Amino acid sequence: MAVRRRMPLIIAFIACCLLGYTVLWIRTSNPPYEALEQHISSPKPMHPVEEPVSVDEQYLAFFTHSGFQNQLIQAWYLNRTLLLPRALFGQPFGWSLFDKLHIEHQLRDVTLSPAQACIQHDAELERYGVECPEPNRYTMMPFDEIFDLDWAKQHVRIVSRDDMSYEWMEKNFEIARAGAANQDNGSYVDGDILFFKDETRYNWRIFDTPHQSERLGKYLASLDIYQMREFPQKLIHFGSLFGSGKMPIRRPEHYEFLRKLQRSIVYRHPVVTEVADNFLQSLGGPGAFIGLHISPLTIVAADFFRSGDGWFVQALPRNVQNAVTQITLSIDKHPDVPSLQEQLAIIPQNPQFDQCLTLAKTRNVTLIYMATDAPHPSSNSDFAILYSSFPCTFTIDSFSTKLNQPAWNSLSNATNAHDGTPMKKYLIPLIDATIASRGRLFIGTEASTFSGYVYRLHDVFWSQQAADALTGQR
């Protein structure tokens, strides 16, 4: 079944918000600083704006060009309510100065049609060189409709935000500006808002221990969470909190929070779950295959999910060879699995999906599920060594039986309830990730944040399977 899967950028935020931005846990012999007190332990649900919160509430806001993990951690550190914008699928925008990021968000607000928003912000479009977004190339929806945020909500109060205007914050939370002159960058106060407007993507580095300015690295300035907890302003508003070293973690309890947060955020979209379960059944279930992710595409400075040229394109032959090597090594470690030469003698030339399934069950032949952006990988010469070494390699397009048709129908009928956008092309990468993560082994692409997230999904799933097995034995 042919699937239209290729776009210049399928998802702008998925990998980056979940890759677990490389945080540093630096062991130290220094006396421990007084730990932050535990935050309110009762569940903190995702609040619709109509549901009021305390008049004494303090808030944290940001622009979501590249995820929300750092923002959740920061809100937890500061015990502030997080104003969480919607997640962006499709046509992305990368890091920019604060005011440009603000315009990028306002162009996609639900309060106006894209055409109306572009007319309203015509002057800003010209000033910042921003193009009016094409409605058929993106869609937005609340994060908790895509990911499981139940654990996060027990530790961070979250308010869903679909209007990025200052007027929205003033109307709903009495967060008002006082008319101070706008600044393009720097930190300054305007009424109830303390702004941190980056001059570069490496402006402020935020530490979880005091007095860390000597470890700035490539950053220009430092903040620490103890200092920030004393800020009296009702709202702290960042532009971007993106960055692999933006928030180095030193305290063990903070690293433990990060670890639990990362493991808790998994896909929860019902169509993703339904379709992945259907296709997994066709593969023989979790553990019946090896999961693989090979990307021919790139992530530029980890800003985006997938794009059309760059390092991964140049490294594709090497990535494929690395995958073949790792699969071969895994086979060699298991004497009950036929060797590569023995398998090639068993498998017919150009095997069909059902033939490979039978051989996997009866002769222990290695079955591979590959998540990839590459169109028609079986006819791509860069993948030739993979298919010649492991002919029983399949992709999402391989699921074409009658048993799979209900899943394809669900996927084709899936729409964004907020704007009616068909979701098929946006959900396929999530389904790909889910299936690949259920392999008994997962092998990813070096430096790919998407692979990094699938590794985590794999770890979470199989850890839970092991825990369930232990529970069942008691």
Structure tokens at 274: 């339904």
Domain boundary among 234, 264, 294: 264
Label the pairing between strands 235-238 and 368-372.
Answer: unpaired
Task: Provide CB contacts within 8 A for 135, sequence distance 6+.
Answer: 114
Q: What mean pLDDT is predicted for residues 393-398?
A: 96
Same domain, 463 and 317: yes
Domain boundary among 225, 241, 264: 264
Same domain, 250 and 292: no
The DSSP 8-state label assigned to residue 181 in this structure reads P
pLDDT at 168: 95
Structure tokens at 357: 């399934």
pLDDT at 300: 37
- Give the C-alpha distances (Å, rounded to integers) separating 127 from 124, 180, 197, 312: 5, 21, 18, 34
Same domain, 133 and 280: no
pLDDT at 348: 96
Quick check: 123 pLDDT over 50?
A: yes
Which pLDDT tens digit goes with each residue over 33-44? 333 334 433 444
Band (473; pLDDT cuts 50, 70, 90): low
Cα(296)–Cα(320) distance, integer angstroms? 10
Poorest-pLDDT segment among 121-130, 309-318, 396-405: 309-318
pLDDT at 66: 64
Band (59; pLDDT cuts 50, 70, 90): very high
Q: What mean pLDDT is predicted for residues 83-87?
A: 93
Same domain, 141 and 246: yes
Structure tokens at 88: 């962006």
Cα(274)–Cα(408) distance, integer angstroms? 10
Residue 306 burial class via C-beta count within 10 angstroms: exposed 0-12, middle 13-18, buried 19 and up: buried
Maximal C-alpha separation, the chain: 77
Which pLDDT tens digit goes with each residue over 142-159? 999 999 999 999 999 999
| Mean pLDDT across the chain | 85
Residue 222 is which amino acid? Answer: S
Same domain, 167 and 18: yes
- Give the C-alpha distances (Å, rounded to integers) separating 193 from 180, 206, 234, 456: 11, 19, 6, 36
Cβ–Cβ < 8 Å for 390, 324: yes
Classify residue 3: in a domain, yes or no.
no
Same domain, 193 and 312: no
pLDDT at 30: 32
Give percent above pLDDT 90 in the chain.
Answer: 69
Cβ atoms within 10 Å, residue 473: 6
Which pLDDT tens digit goes with each residue over 177-227? 999 999 999 999 999 999 999 999 899 999 999 866 668 889 999 999 999
Classify residue 310: in a domain, yes or no.
yes
Poorest-pLDDT segment among 85-99, 176-190, 348-362: 85-99
Structure tokens at 413: 């009928």
Task: Provide CB contacts within 8 A for 92, sequence distance 6+.
Answer: 9, 12, 13, 65, 138, 303, 304, 305
Same domain, 244 and 286: no
Quick check: 307 pLDDT over 80?
A: no
Question: 362: domain CATH number?
Answer: 3.40.50
Classify residue 9: in a domain, yes or no.
no
Poorest-pLDDT segment among 189-198, 304-313, 353-362: 304-313
Same domain, 41 and 93: yes
Cβ–Cβ < 8 Å for 430, 306: no
Task: Provide CB contacts within 8 A for 329, sequence distance 6+.
Answer: none
Q: At residue 87, what are phi and psi to the nearest 5 degrees?
A: -80, 140
Same domain, 20 and 52: yes
Cβ–Cβ < 8 Å for 12, 449: no
Domain residues for 344? 270-473
3-class secondary structure, 236: strand
Cα(109)–Cα(117) distance, integer angstroms? 8
Same domain, 321 and 237: no
Domain boundary among 264, 292, 322: 264
Cα(74)–Cα(60) distance, integer angstroms? 8
Cβ–Cβ < 8 Å for 386, 324: yes
Partners of 87 in beta bridges: 141
Quick check: 75 pLDDT over 90?
A: yes
Which pLDDT tens digit goes with each residue over 6-29? 443 444 345 444 443 323 332 222
Structure tokens at 125: 């479009």
Considering its fold, how many domains does the chain have in total?
2
Classify residue 1: in a domain, yes or no.
no
pLDDT at 22: 29
Classify residue 40: in a domain, yes or no.
yes
Same domain, 255 and 309: no
Same domain, 333 and 469: yes
375-388 burial string, b = 16+ CB within 10 Å, else e?
eebbebebbeebbe
Classify residue 398: in a domain, yes or no.
yes
Which residue from 62, 60, 64 is spatially nearest to 11, judged by alpha carbons? 64
Task: Provide CB contacts within 8 A for 436, sequence distance 6+.
Answer: 291, 292, 293, 369, 370, 371, 442, 454, 458
Structure tokens at 108: 């996609």
Cα(214)–Cα(222) distance, integer angstroms? 9
Cα(386)–Cα(390) distance, integer angstroms? 6
pLDDT at 361: 95
Classify residue 2: in a domain, yes or no.
no
Classify residue 8: in a domain, yes or no.
no
List, edge to edge, every strand of the sheet that includes 81-85.
46-47, 158-161, 81-85, 59-61, 235-238, 193-197, 186-190
